[in-house]
Amino acid sequence: MSFDQLGLTPELLRAVADQGYTEPTPVQAQAIPHVLAGRDLLAGAQTGTGKTAAFVLPILQYLHANAPRRAAVGQTAGGRPVDAPPPMRNGRPGVRPARVLVLVPTRELALQVEESVRTYGAQHPVRSVPIYGGVGYEPQFRALRAGPEIVVATPGRLLDHISQRTVDLSAIEILVLDEADRMLDMGFIRDIRKILELLPAQRQNLLFSATFNNEIRNLAAAFLHDPAMVQATPRNTAAPLVRQVVIRVDRERKRDLLRELVASGRVDQALVFTRTKHGANKLAEHLVRDGITAAAIHGNRSQSQRVRALEDFKKGRVSMLVATEVAARGLDIEELPHVVNFELPMVPEDYLHRIGRTGRAGSTGDAISLVCVDEQKLLRDIEQLLGRPIDVEVIEGYEPDRSIRPQPIRLRTAGGGEVAHAPMASMHRAGRPQGRPAIRPMPPRPAVGGGESRSSFRAGSSRPSFGGGAPRPGSNAPRPMGGPGPRPFAGDGQRTMGPRPSGQRPSGPRPGGSRPGPVHAGQSFGATPPRPQNGRPSHPPHRSAGGSGSGRPPGQWRGEGGGNGARDGRGGGRPASLPGERFARQGERRGGRPA
């Protein structure tokens, strides 16, 4: 069968021929007639079978042949004339309603589908826009205001635009759910249901999925109406052009074996899969240190980083692209020769999506899985899904050690067999107390003046204990001057790290105790301020020669003229407030004399 027998227009046939395709794939040959007839569709097809063109080609033909619905009466689904500009919303121009919505699970798949729309619509362009997270909103706002007919979006970012009223879904005529099983695996079922509630009831629905389970069947039953069933390939089978092999190796020697495969020429360019993002980063770093050009791509990388890594891989600047499951869907790399499972996936169906990146569009490919003793159960599950065993190979010099015991995979990360969370027994051997993690000791609190530490606090109190009966340390020395910087000495007498304070080094004994109250002009650090007499400040009182720092004559009882220690318990660190003193200070600040 050729594309001419599918009922496509000459413009689309020329676009397909320009891409070098002459015969449709099984899913294209079965799905395109149903979509052109306007029926709902439930299609099962593995990755790499051409299912994107199976819905893009008939959708483009539908848009070319049919004007927007309700155009005959001069109105759109929004209730305004077709040629009228959209109304203003929140001070910005409104958006025209889209006609086709394609929901995909990942950014890469959104870009791939939108690129297919532009490629096959080259003879008769149709405005389209990809909507996905990880990038700014403003470029997407501008693209949506331009009035695209096809919107390719991930569910999360589409809901963000819906909440901001920057996209209009009231006139959707065709809905496509691509990689529906992957969207459910990623937890998008609630987002999908919210989006379905906003769409018009009369529309055509297309659902494509590589695997089928109860959730997929329930979702299909909820919004598909008398769908046509298409099963291009047997369920849960790998592409026939992919050669699969398992190489057994110890967990700690996986990275060395991968390096050996690259050095021997068996693997020249490969997409390498790990289970975790941290494992992908670590493996890429190890490969670079081994002299192999590598890059990592996963969900934590920004969109620009992911696009740059993928572009470098396609152009040959990077030979190893280390990825997580985010790349198992949506990466369309022409003639990718190798896929390496550095770690087997936890879900057997993900194995099919991984190896589906190679052996596409009639090209052959190799899928190599490095399997250690910890992954025996995962391998059995994959073989049970495939319905047949996978060929096993052992590389000379990398034979697995049969004495190694398996470890739980949940305690491990990728990147060379390092344990993510060590067992408690290993912590005990390292000297950590049993039963609870080690607590980092707190350093002693440095004293403000160099004399008090944390031990000078009262038991059960949050305030310092000086002033509760103990004599106050001396503070006759002048206050050190200088610029900003750390204190020259800590409370334990040891010199602290960091730059030395600027300025001249002060002379005299070092002040002790905590930070005193405010310092007045002509007063030493820690001395009691003079009392006002008749509204004027008096001369500084006599200080004790003993250097007690209390600011009162020798033998004077605390509370007589010193600080109000009986009230605040600090032994005279703050000046007393005499009757009329507060008003006198206010009068001086206003420039007048007190009454």
pLDDT digits (tens, 9 = 90+) for 505-544: 666 666 665 555 554 544 544 455 555 555 455 554 444 4
CB atoms within 10 A of CB 12: 24
- CA proximity to 397, closest of 548, 521, 502, 260: 260
The answer to whether 454 touches 444, Cβ cutoff 8 Å, is: yes
Q: What is the pLDDT at residue 236?
A: 62
The answer to whether 230 touches 34, Cβ cutoff 8 Å, is: yes
The answer to whether 338 touches 265, Cβ cutoff 8 Å, is: no
Same domain, 268 and 144: no
| Average pLDDT of the chain, as a whole number | 74
Segment 14-25 shows an average pLDDT of: 88
| Banded pLDDT at 461 (limits 50, 70, 90) | very low
Last residue of a domain, one of 211, 231, 251: 231
What percentage of the chain carries pLDDT values higher than 90? Answer: 38
Coil, strand or helix at 43: strand
Last residue of a domain, one of 231, 266, 293: 231
Does pLDDT of 273 surpass 50?
yes
Residue 476 CA to its chain's centroid (Å): 58
Same domain, 366 and 223: no
The model's pLDDT over 437-459, given as tens digits with 9 standing for 90+, comes to 444 445 555 444 444 444 444 44
Query: What is the model's pTM?
Result: 0.57
- Residue 173 placed within a domain: yes
Does pLDDT of 434 surpass 50?
no
Task: Specify which of 219-233, 321-335, 389-403 reaches the highest per-range mean pLDDT.
Answer: 389-403
Residue whose pair of structure tokens reads 């057994």 in the numeric block: 248
Structural domain total, the chain: 2
> Cα-atom radius of gyration of the chain, to the nearest Å?
38
Q: What's the domain range around 17?
A: 3-231
Higher-scoring residue by pLDDT: 123, 335: 123
Higher-scoring residue by pLDDT: 454, 203: 203
Phi, psi of 409 (to 5 degrees): -70, -30
The model's pLDDT over 280-306, given as tens digits with 9 standing for 90+, comes to 999 999 999 999 999 998 878 887 888
- CA proximity to 271, closest of 317, 346, 351, 328: 328
- Residue 513 placed within a domain: no
The answer to whether 206 touches 43, Cβ cutoff 8 Å, is: yes
Last residue of a domain, one of 417, 446, 464: 417
Does pLDDT of 372 surpass 60?
yes
Segment 381-410 shows an average pLDDT of: 90
- Residue 103 placed within a domain: yes
- Residue 376 placed within a domain: yes
Does pLDDT of 344 surpass 90?
yes
The answer to whether 318 touches 294, Cβ cutoff 8 Å, is: yes
The answer to whether 148 touches 127, Cβ cutoff 8 Å, is: yes
Domain with 206 in it: what CATH number? 3.40.50.300
Does pLDDT of 325 surpass 50?
yes
Higher-scoring residue by pLDDT: 374, 299: 374
- Residue 340 placed within a domain: yes
- Give the burial string for 406-436 (b: 16+ CB within 10 Å, else e): eeebeebbbbbbeeeeeeeeeeeeeeeeeee
Same domain, 105 and 249: no
Segment 119-137 shows an average pLDDT of: 90
Q: What is the pLDDT at residue 517?
A: 53
Higher-scoring residue by pLDDT: 534, 257: 257
Higher-scoring residue by pLDDT: 287, 94: 287
- Residue 140 placed within a domain: yes
- Mean pLDDT check: name the lowest of 82-96, 282-296, 385-399, 447-461: 447-461
Same domain, 178 and 251: no
Task: Specify which of 185-194, 349-358, 367-376, 462-471 reaches the highest per-range mean pLDDT.
Answer: 367-376
Same domain, 325 and 191: no
Q: What is the pLDDT at residue 507?
A: 67
- Residue 554 placed within a domain: no
The model's pLDDT over 478-491, given as tens digits with 9 standing for 90+, comes to 554 544 444 444 44
Higher-scoring residue by pLDDT: 284, 334: 284
- Mean pLDDT check: name the lowest of 177-181, 221-225, 481-485: 481-485
Higher-scoring residue by pLDDT: 48, 415: 48
Does pLDDT of 232 surpass 50?
yes
The answer to whether 55 touches 365, Cβ cutoff 8 Å, is: no
The model's pLDDT over 545-585, given as tens digits with 9 standing for 90+, comes to 444 444 444 444 444 444 444 444 444 444 444 455 554 45
Q: What is the pLDDT at residue 356?
A: 81
- Residue 586 placed within a domain: no
- CA proximity to 240, closest of 560, 26, 469: 26
Q: What is the DSSP string of 330-359?
A: T---TT--EEEESS--SSHHHHHHHHTTSS
| Banded pLDDT at 129 (limits 50, 70, 90) | very high
The answer to whether 123 touches 143, Cβ cutoff 8 Å, is: no
